[in-house]
């Protein structure tokens, strides 16, 4: 194990589950590298104190799904940070309608399937400097409603449903490539898992929601606060009684859970890797 303090990198660290995970880690003495689309609240005194002390180090990228913006912020992290012990690929969002990234792919897929892979690949060297070398991809159980998945539909869906459409299928694709990539990144000592943080009340007044109309009041009345999801992600990384140090697994409700469409995991991972190599990386990337 590396010498404390441990260092986490969290995407989407300034709101919802990501913010509560950031708070938890800071209280426990971790340092946090935060990749956000906007600044932390100036009214949050503990967060601002952590920024002042450099225990919390924010990096702003206005559009994670824009490769020029993403490349610039990842290069800055590569140059300025010494190590990453745990990478939490947490940033995500459900959109109210079909939208597309600057690269021309459906936005849920770009942001929540492809971008986490790019971040993993670009920050591998910082993970190599740790002995923990763990990656947690935030997934969902909403994909239980997914009836079909393939690369073409993920990139260019013909229909749209809130929550159970492109959002759910993109999260499923994230968990599937996590499973398929695990043996390959294991050659470099990297452990990777996807974790369902469960239902959390993460509604924000300043963001248009991609949730079905009936889900919103249910979230307000019955869903736990995002501290619940933060704890699920933390345990997925650090609690060996849950994951038994296994890699590639999907964890839901504190248990390793079988994924749907596992037979397509390899094909989905190969497509994501192809996008990374051909559109983002400067040269062909292979595993040791």
Instruction: Kindly report the CATH number assigned to the domain that includes residue 252.
Output: 3.40.50.720
Q: 106: burial class by Cβ within 10 Å (0-12, 13-18, 19+)? A: buried
DSSP H or E stretch at residue 68 = helix 67-80
Residue 209 belongs to some domain of the structure:
yes
How many helices and strands, by DSSP H and E, does the chain display? 12, 8
Instruction: Quick: pLDDT tens for 97-141.
Output: 999 999 999 999 999 999 999 999 999 999 999 999 999 999 998
Q: Retrieve residue 108's tokens.
A: 């849920």
Residue 256 lies in a domain: yes
Q: How many domains does the chain have?
A: 1
Tell me whether residue 140 is in a domain.
yes
- Does a structural domain hold residue 285? no
pLDDT in tens, 190-202: 999 999 998 765 5
Residue 81 lies in a domain: yes
Residue 1 lies in a domain: no
Q: Domain range spanning residue 127?
A: 7-280
Whether residue 288 is contained in a domain is answered as no
- pLDDT for 234 beyond 60: yes
How far is the C-alpha of 175 from the C-alpha of 158, rounded, in Å? 22
Decide if 177 contacts 232 (C-beta within 8 A).
no
pLDDT value at 203 more than 90: no
What b/e sequence results for 168-180 when a residue is b if at least 16 CB atoms lie within 10 Å of its CB, and e otherwise?
A: bbbbbbbbbbbbb
């Amino acid at each position: 194990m590396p010498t404390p303090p441990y260092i986490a990198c969290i995407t989407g660290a300034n709101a919802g589950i990501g913010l509560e995970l950031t708070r938890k880690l800071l209280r426990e003495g971790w340092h946090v590298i935060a990749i956000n689309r906007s600044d932390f609240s100036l009214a949050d005194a503990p967060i601002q104190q952590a920024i002042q002390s450099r225990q919390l180090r924010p990096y702003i990228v206005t559009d994670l799904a824009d490769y020029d913006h993403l490349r610039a912020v990842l290069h800055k992290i590569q140059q300025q940070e010494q190590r990453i012990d745990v990478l939490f690929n947490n940033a995500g969002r459900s959109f109210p309608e079909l939208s597309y990234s600057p690269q021309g792919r459906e936005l849920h897929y770009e942001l929540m399937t492809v971008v986490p892979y790019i971040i993993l690949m670009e920050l591998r060297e910082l993970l190599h400097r740790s002995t923990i070398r763990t990656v947690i991809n935030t997934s969902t159980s909403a994909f239980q409603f997914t009836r079909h998945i393939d690369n073409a539909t993920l990139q260019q869906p013909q229909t749209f449903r809130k929550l159970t459409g492109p959002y759910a299928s993109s999260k499923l694709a994230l968990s599937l490539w996590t499973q398929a990539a695990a043996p390959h990144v294991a050659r470099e000592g990297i452990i990777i898992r996807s974790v369902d943080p469960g239902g959390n009340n993460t509604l924000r007044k300043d963001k248009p929601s991609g949730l079905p109309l009936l889900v919103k009041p249910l979230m307000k009345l019955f869903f736990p606060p995002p501290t619940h999801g933060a704890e699920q992600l933390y345990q997925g990384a650090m609690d060996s009684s849950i994951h038994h140090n296994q890699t590639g697994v999907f964890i839901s409700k504190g248990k390793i859970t079988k994924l749907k469409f596992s037979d397509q995991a390899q094909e989905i991972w190969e497509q994501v890797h192809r996008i990374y190599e051909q559109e983002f990386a400067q040269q062909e990337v292979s595993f040791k």
